[in-house]
Amino acid sequence: MRYSKTITGLTGGGSDGWDIYRKARQMERDGTAVTMLTIGEHDIRTDAQIIDALHRFAHAGHTGYTTFDGEPELKERIAARLTDRTGVATTPENVLIVPGGQGGLYAAHHAVCDPGDTALYIDPYYTTYPGTIRTVGAIPRAIEARPRHGFQPQPEDIAKAVDEGGTVRSLLVNTPNNPTGVVYTRETLDGIAKVCADKGLWLLSDEVYDTQVWNGDHLSPRALPGMAERTLVIGSMSKSHAMTGSRVGWVVGTEEAIEHMANLATHTTYGISGYIQHAAAFALDLGTAFEAQIAEPFRRRRDLVMKQMEGQNAARPIPADGAMYVMVDIRSTGLSGEDFADRLLDRHHVAVMPGESFGHAAAGHVRVALTVADDLLEGAVAKLVALASELATETVEPAR
């Protein structure tokens, strides 16, 4: 039987970047203890209070169909949260509830791109980005944020890509960033906002790590002058509340944009489970102290890793200002991120993600997820540094 070009072309061919992860999982199944520093999932489970709330709301009868665009109680809380944190007046009519940030990325691209349009995104990128853009028939085009710029995207590169042709509709950005841990500066975001306004682009802003910022406050580009009308913010309970499996996220934008995406929800998801939405509202009511408690281990472990890597040059950490990762430059070893990660796994049973899993810009790097207990992490990082030091050839300076 024939399958659609859209579905068969979704991954874009080639490796999906998860080879090391699969190999590590297989080693575990074969009985080898592997320290997994691969995926962005907390080492704690969803808090017992939230599990109790799920149970309570299910028993209270929230098990039927829901309003397709989201339960008013949850939309109200998300609107209040964004108003408080960004200063942009946000009402429930500006909010759509979706199945996780991933559902939001899909809905947002559907709202602004037609088949054949070009959608920009920043490389290094979260692995699903190009495939998500392809689901709506749009053409993904990467803009590299390079190590020599501290992985901050350069607005002139974005403008150049727009000028090079195609019908470019949107730019997807992510701060705090997965995989680099970098937080975009105000200067970067001002530059991005200006390009979007000049070129008539939608800005899709993935802010799922907004509660994990280690220096200063989270800055949402929707709050920049003139940007509320052309920005769609993608948010989620996954990272902020350790609720990855509950699949609750949101898109925030203009009322008109939300109306369109609500139609999409009616014809795709048909709404999100009511008891999960009510438990998410309960979780938001736990306030910022709870969010800080969930984020705290990542802040602590980030400090630990940065400190542990001081005093040597073989494995150079990129200063991480947010999210649950530290990106490490291992170009001194002369190996690709893939080969280094493979050797680290074979020799020391430590699994990290090769930078190449996230595009071209992070080649020669590996991403360390801060998602295991501190002592395990320390042991694994010591092995990473030892391997890099052993392989580093003093004559090879990383090409920047």
Binding site for ligand PMP (CB under 6 A): 40, 100-102, 126, 174, 178, 206, 208, 236, 238, 244, 249
Cα–chain center distance at 252: 17
CA distance linking residue 93 with residue 91, whole number of Å: 5
**From CA 82, how far away is CA 91, in angstroms rounded?**
9
Helix (H, G, I), strand (E, B) or coil at 144: strand
Rg (CA), the chain: 21
| Nearer to ligand PMP (CB atom), residue 206 or residue 321 | 206
Q: 244 vs 273, which CB is nearer to ligand PMP?
A: 244
Least Å distance, CB 363 to ligand PMP, is 19
Nearer to ligand PMP, 331 or 358 (CB): 358
Quote the least distance from Cβ 298 to ligand PMP, whole Å: 13
Closest separation in Å from C-beta 385 to ligand PMP: 25
Closer by beta carbon to ligand PMP, 134 or else 331: 134
Cβ distance to ligand PMP smaller for residue 209 or 275:
209
* Long-range Cβ contacts of 260-267 (<8 Å, 24+ apart): 260/111, 261/69, 261/96, 261/98, 261/107, 261/108, 261/110, 261/111, 262/68, 262/69, 262/96, 264/107, 264/110, 264/111, 265/68, 265/69, 265/96, 265/98, 265/107, 266/68
Closest-approach residue to ligand PMP (CB): 100
**Nearest residue (CB) to ligand PMP, 100 versus 191:** 100
Contacts for 115 with CB less than 8 Å, ≥ 6 apart: 136, 137, 138
Q: How far is the CB of 1 from ligand PMP (least distance, A)?
A: 31
Which residue is associated with the tokens 């209040």? Answer: 80
Q: Least separation, in Å, of the C-beta of 42 and ligand PMP?
A: 11
Both tokens of 89, joined, read 């007046």
What's the min distance (Å) between Cβ of 101 and ligand PMP? Answer: 3
